[in-house]
Homo-oligomer: A and B are copies of this chain.
Amino acid sequence: MVHGESKNAPSMADVAARAGVSHQTVSRVVNGSDAVRGDTRDRVLAAIEELGYRRNKSARALVTRKSGRLGLLYTQPHLYGPGTLAASVHQAGQRAGYDIILSPVPHLEATSAERAIEALLDDAVEAVLLGVSHQSFEDLVAQLATTVEVVMIHSDPPAGVRSVGIDQHAGAVLATQYLLDLGHRTIAHVAGPVGWIDARQRREGWLAALRDGDAQPGPEIFGDWSSRSGYEAGAEIARDASVTAVFAANDSMALGVIRALREAGRRVPQDVSVVGFDDVPDAAYLWPPLTTVRQDFASLGELAVEVATKAIADGTVEAPPLLAPELIVRDSAAPLSPSRDVR
């Protein structure tokens, strides 16, 4: 109150008055300009410290016309993959000097996703990272891209859109090939729900590996990523004695499959082998330890931010190559036991 300083947060003018310089000099110091003499800088810095000054981002954004924000839209925030992705995007963004707006959309309805995008646009994000590889988004992207930079996190993006991804197809081939190498010929697949790109890619990888190995596709059941759906799929698979291996499109479903198989009296891996996808942290401590395909979500998030910041800076469009997943061999898959080899 006394010196014209109110109870409001201090502004550059307050700092300037205190340091005996103009507000512009304060601005220069805050922005790291080198056109300030050492002792002046020190005085300003001291004033900032004493006053607890904090630059007002709104004012800055208003005049620079840049928000310095990136938005990430993602689904299933309670799951390991999306959660890890969000955290790594956030961290990478901070490092790159951007604020990250995390926008989890709990259920995948078109309306809630559109609302979320509207909210991101209202926040004036400079780029939107779409961590939702669901086909319902493919149309949305084209339209969105006219407004703002867009980066899809996607293993099979539509042509011309910036993207990063992990090679889901290759991961599925890894898993299926492994099972084939173990001698299995009838390999079932518990797929992710229709509409999800990753689910489709994993299914196609399974099919492709089978084709390459001259094996016929085993039964195929569509789940919804949940362990419950895996359980139901497993119960169905257990009825088919010819199936000696199952490739599940994620670890949760794999764990449900294993439970159902057990309840039906089929041992894992002695009677039936099971392979999952994701390598969630608990996978190694399931019973049996789950053989699965690991995805590096942390690198994916960093890559996404890198592509986004480049796009903002110079409009670069080129997509980096897909990241390679890795097969993690544990105990839930074993060689086909001779007794079951009917040939």
Contact = CB atoms under 8 A, between A and B. Distances in A.
Nearest to A227: B285
Contacts of A269: none
A79 B87 contact: no
B84 A77 contact: yes
Given A59-B62, A99-B123, A227 B284 contact: yes
A123 B102 CA distance: 14
* Residue of A65, A79, A83, A285 ringed by the most chain B CB atoms within 10 A: A285
A10 to B, nearest CB: 13
A86 B65 contact: no
Given A121-B54, A281-B227, A287-B287, A87 B94 contact: no
Contacts of A99: 101, 119, 123
Provide the main secondary structure of the chain A interface. Answer: helix
B67 A77 contact: no
Range, interface on chain A: 35 or more
* Residue of A67, A231, A286, A287 ringed by the most chain B CB atoms within 10 A: A287
A108 interface: no
A258 interface: yes
Contacts of A106: 87-88, 91
Contact of A58 (B67, B227, B228): B67
B55 A122 contact: yes
Interface of A: 8, 54-59, 61-62, 65, 67, 77-80, 82-84, 86-88, 90-91, 94, 99, 101-104, 106, 115, 119, 121-124, 226-228, 230-231, 252, 255-256, 258-259, 262, 281-282, 284-287, 289
